[in-house]
Structure 1
Amino acid sequence: MMIIDSPSNDAYFNIALEEYLLYKYPTESIFLLYVNSSSIIVGKFQNTLAEINLDYVSENKIKVVRRMSGGGAVYHDLGNLNFSFHNLLGENDFMDFSQFTKPVLKVLNDLNVPAKLEGRNDLLVDGKKFSGNAKLSRNGKMIQHGTILFDSNMSILGDALKINPLKYNDKAIKSNRARVINLKDVLPKEMTLDDLKQTLIDEMLKTNASSFIYELSTEDIEDVQKLISEKYATWDWNFGFSPKYSFQNAIKIPAGFIELHLDVLRGGTIEKVKIFGDFFASKPIEELEVLFIGKNHNLNDIRAVLESVDVTEFFGKVTIDEILTVFK
């Protein structure tokens, strides 16, 4: 088994690294550990915009990255340790999460932490969740990966994933806002995240005779960076890959009340637009609505449309930034 401790705290890098390893080493068993700086990792089948507080995420420069596996959105920061097992598909039941959570549970139980697997894929202590796990199968392999909340900023976790559920109506999987706990609260006071990481590595080396430490080569890192630029840092993957959804929002600004309804196709393309309100317009609002059709539900694309017209002709005395808020 290859044991890899990622050298990067960049969420783009580490999520891309999982896919890179899947295809680079199609027969090797791998145990990967990584820590991301502030980021939200959304499940493959989720509507990203319905999972995040976009204003908060943008203001705080929190990266948003879609992973390959399903499940719900999670918040990562430097107080969150992530683990990933890569094994040949067929060796284990795909829906059984117990085998690859056992090493984590054993380490914690040995430290007198009463952690256990509950439900389908969560690790809990005293009824509080510290780890969620997800799976995928591809290229003849299965990946099971999970989070370990060690000393994560709970207030940011709540704010970054907070969203008004009335804005969106879609068939995507909604994240479960479970009660959570940081392991720092139940582990020995002197233990750090790095200590926990090393303890997990030692456990894998001890229990897997063929295990060895593998350091990423320059070629590995360059190939991962290429995958980042082509996929994991793009709007098309992180936002546009979302399923078809309907979006509704309304704002009250000095110019009046503005209500927006969008139908957005899978891939993020706006299919239908309807704008209502009590604003005064010198031009028919339908002339503006049609300009958004075929554009991405992306604030950069929306801004470009608004900058191509005189918005005061449609809404009265307004600014582009005011109109943009109704699209968030």
Structure 2
Amino acid sequence: MFFIDTSRNGKPVYDAIVNQSLDNYLVNDLRLEGHGLILYVNNPSVIIGVNQNAYAEVNLPYLKKKKLQLVRRTSGGGAVYHDYGNFIFENIVIGNDDHFADYAYFAQPIIDALHDMGAKTVEMRGRNDIVVDDKKFSGMTMFKVGDSFAAGGTLMFDLDMDTASKVLTPEKDKLESKGVKSVNKRITNIKPYLDEPFRSMSPVEFKDELLKCIFKVDKLSDIKTYKLTDHDWEIIDSRLKDKYDTDAWNYGKNPGFTNYVSKHFDIGTVAFNFSLKDNKISNIKIYGDFITGGDITLIEKSLLGAEFTNDGLTSALEKVDLEANLGKIQPQALVDLLLS
């Protein structure tokens, strides 16, 4: 494994829109052979999954009042709040997809490093969370392109919990499925669980120590490193203008269809926004924090025009590969949600 230095002109980049586009460039364009790691910090911002509806997941008036960025990442997963007390780690794996969807594999170096720093109760929990004393401080996600992929997540060190709780509006069903009543009760910072001197470190100091622990070196200079070049940044900048630095990408459109239903399943939250005409689905859009390497538009197309009955919806869903394009879920579960 090697480190990919994403600083620019010798200074760290905090712009969340820029940082969230890096994995796409590294996987699709630069393609450094092997297993690379990036570790960066975003300015105060809300990051949403590629398939999420910003209008349903985020308190947009509060976001605009606090002048927070809204950024859509290129992978799945849920909405999260980032600030200078939070780290984002991503593994960039080129030319080998053996460990795609294996969250535990990529979580283990982080877990081992935090154990070494004194947080002995850190462990992997559920589909893609890293927890300490049953409280989540890291959520992970992935996306895949051919035989290459990016796998990473957040690491809450000293995040502003008050702002996070106010700007994020997770669906009640998702929280109830986890047996909790509020966001504050299910997340925590890792800082209080660390031994000294790590507990008293600034985020910048902790980031350096974390890297040294992950790579098992005494000095940062001992880590094999690729530094993004001026040419790399020229390409990254051009992609931002075309897509990632646009409201169309980050906010998306609120289709405003008549019906909205949502439920949390083992694969994550699945939501349907749809309209009916003559008891048939006339418009439909799928949202959620599920993580898939497939194409959910194939499911939308299969449902468009379907009779809004148990048999009609079941027949439509059986014509598409749900597991490949959404996740391991039975057609009847989605039918029941739609009819609810």
Partner of 2:74: 68
* Equivalent of 1:227 in 227, 234, 239: 239
Superposition deviation, residue 76 in structure 1: 0.5
From the superposition, tell whether residues 24 and 242 of structure 1 become closer, same or farther in structure 2 (CA, over 3 Å): farther
1:13 lines up with 2:25 in the alignment: no
Superposition deviation, residue 247 in structure 1: 7.5
* Equivalent of 2:98 in 89, 92, 97: 92
Asked if the contact 2:56/2:169 (under 8 Å) is kept, the reply is no
Residues 13-32 of structure 1 aligned to structure 2 (within 5 Å): 13-26=18-31, 27-32=33-38
1:218 lines up with 2:225 in the alignment: no
1: CA distance, partners of 2:90 / 2:211:
12
Partner of 1:135: 142
Asked if the contact 1:244/1:265 (under 8 Å) is kept, the reply is no
Q: Which amino acid aligns with 2:225?
A: I
Residues 145-184 of structure 1 aligned to structure 2 (within 5 Å): 145-162=152-169, 177=183, 179-184=186-191
Per-residue CA deviation, residues 232-265 of structure 1 (Å, 9 max, x unaligned), is: 11121112267885489xxxxxxxxxxxxx9687
- How many residues are aligned here? 245
Per-residue CA deviation, residues 209-235 of structure 1 (Å, 9 max, x unaligned), is: x96122221122222121111111112
Residues 281-320 of structure 1 aligned to structure 2 (within 5 Å): none
* Equivalent of 2:250 in 231, 235, 238: 238
Superposition deviation, residue 200 in structure 1: 2.8
Greater mean deviation of Cα atoms: 8-17 or 18-27: 18-27
Asked if the contact 1:244/1:266 (under 8 Å) is kept, the reply is no
From the superposition, tell whether residues 244 and 145 of structure 1 become closer, same or farther in structure 2 (CA, over 3 Å): farther
RMSD, matched Cα: 3.0
1: CA distance, partners of 2:93 / 2:258:
38
1:3 lines up with 2:15 in the alignment: no
Q: SS where residue 56 of structure 2 aligns?
A: helix
Q: SS where residue 92 of structure 2 aligns?
A: strand
Q: Which amino acid aligns with 2:232?
A: D
1:117 lines up with 2:124 in the alignment: yes
Asked if the contact 2:28/2:145 (under 8 Å) is kept, the reply is no
Q: Aligned residues: percent identity?
A: 34
Which ranges of structure 2 fall in alignment gaps of 5 or more residues? 7-11, 174-181, 261-273, 276-282, 287-340
Q: SS where residue 158 of structure 2 aligns?
A: coil
Q: SS where residue 103 of structure 2 aligns?
A: coil
Asked if the contact 1:242/1:266 (under 8 Å) is kept, the reply is no
Asked if the contact 2:27/2:94 (under 8 Å) is kept, the reply is no
* Equivalent of 2:113 in 107, 122, 137: 107
From the superposition, tell whether residues 198 and 245 of structure 1 become closer, same or farther in structure 2 (CA, over 3 Å): farther
Asked if the contact 1:89/1:141 (under 8 Å) is kept, the reply is yes
From the superposition, tell whether residues 191 and 45 of structure 1 become closer, same or farther in structure 2 (CA, over 3 Å): same
From the superposition, tell whether residues 163 and 119 of structure 1 become closer, same or farther in structure 2 (CA, over 3 Å): closer
Q: Which amino acid aligns with 2:89?
A: F
1:203 lines up with 2:203 in the alignment: no
Per-residue CA deviation, residues 133-173 of structure 1 (Å, 9 max, x unaligned), is: 0111114212111000011100100111137879xxxxxxx
Superposition deviation, residue 5 in structure 1: 3.8
* Equivalent of 1:80 in 51, 75, 86: 86
2: CA distance, partners of 1:205 / 1:97:
19
Residues 182-193 of structure 1 aligned to structure 2 (within 5 Å): 182-187=189-194, 188=196, 189-193=199-203
Superposition deviation, residue 12 in structure 1: 0.6
Q: Which amino acid aligns with 2:215?
A: L
Superposition deviation, residue 88 in structure 1: 3.5
Partner of 1:316: none
Q: SS where residue 101 of structure 1 aligns?
A: helix
Q: Which amino acid aligns with 2:79?
A: A
2: CA distance, partners of 1:23 / 1:152:
31
